[in-house]
Amino acid sequence: MQKQNSQQLKKTALESRKIILKMLTEAGNGHPGGSLSAIDIITALYFNEIKHDPKNPKWEGRDYFILGKGHGVPALYATLAQAGYFDVAECMTLRKLGSRMQGHPDRTKLNSLEASTGSLGQGLSIAQGYAMASRLDKKDNRVYCLIGDGESQEGQIWEAAMSITKYKLSNMCVILDENRFQIDGSTQDVMSLEPVMDKWKAFGFNTLEIDGHNMDEILNAFKLAREEKSRPTFIRAHTIKGKGVSFMENNNHWHGVSPTKEELVKALKELDEVKI
């Protein structure tokens, strides 16, 4: 797949935002806030950074992406559809009985997924397994794992972080989608993660900090992570929950509530007016 430049990536992410909102409205439930906060990062991964083949999802030379915050899977479905893994129309079967588009990633139903996630904290351990296997097999596959800030309150995240650096898995890149909210409210109020950067540095990670909606910053961070040959990389991405839709941004009501048809029309109108 030909790599997209920053401008093209912005347009692809914008289209994915529309797909996310449409599929969630059709489903009648799901998680718009965290899907919209993550979509720029996931778009940059699939259309610029990682090696993958939509015609051969299990190609041995591929890089691996694991979505730790499994409830944000509408963003991944929209991206995979645009990349050519399946028709965009199938996204509209989200959460329907018998659909491959489950509400959380299910690799037994969709072979373009690397892991079934949703029990928060487990995705990073799975990602480490892929990274260790690649190292043992003397392959150059890279592994990317996107985690949430609410998810980072899980102890398994920190157990994995300790183990990842023990084995010096420089083929791993962990991205924190820090949109500052979780189901019960703000992460600061529920269980603060600060000092986030100091913690990951203390575990031995190469640490980077970016605006998770700035394509140039996202691409540069992935470049720096790829060039780091001695340590795994942690990227703190500052994001906005519900990014792109004014009435959803930084509004935790939209953590797990789908738009009505009327709200969808309003949201799509806003996105149609975005100039890139």
Instruction: Answer whether 175's CB lies under 8 Å from 222's CB.
Output: no
87 backbone φψ class: left, alpha, beta (φ>0; ψ -120 to 50) = beta
Domains of the chain are 6-272 (3.40.50.970)
Q: What share of the chain in percent tops pLDDT 70?
A: 100
Backbone phi and psi for residue 220, each to the nearest 5 degrees, phi listed first: -65, -40
Banded model confidence at residue 100, pLDDT cuts 50, 70, 90: very high
Q: Is the pLDDT higher at 241 or at 2?
A: 241
> Residue 231: pLDDT band by 50, 70, 90 thresholds?
very high
* Residue 2 pLDDT > 90: no
- The mean per-residue pLDDT over the stretch 173-199 comes to 97
Q: What global pTM score does this model have? A: 0.98
pLDDT value of position 217 = 98
pLDDT at 1: 72
> Are 94 and 74 in contact, with CB atoms under 8 Å apart?
yes
Distance CA(140)–CA(16), nearest Å, equals: 30
- DSSP result, 123-154: HHHHHHHHHHHHHHTT----EEEEEETTGGGS
User: Does position 262 have pLDDT exceeding 80, yes or no?
Assistant: yes
**What confidence tier does 143 reach under pLDDT thresholds 50, 70, 90?**
very high
Average of per-residue pLDDT values in the chain: 97
Look at residue 252 in the predicted model and tell me its pLDDT: 97
Count of C-beta atoms within a 10 Å radius of residue 57: 15
| DSSP element (H, E) containing 225 | helix 215-227
Q: What count of Cα atoms within 13 Å lies in the side-chain half-sphere of residue 185?
A: 5
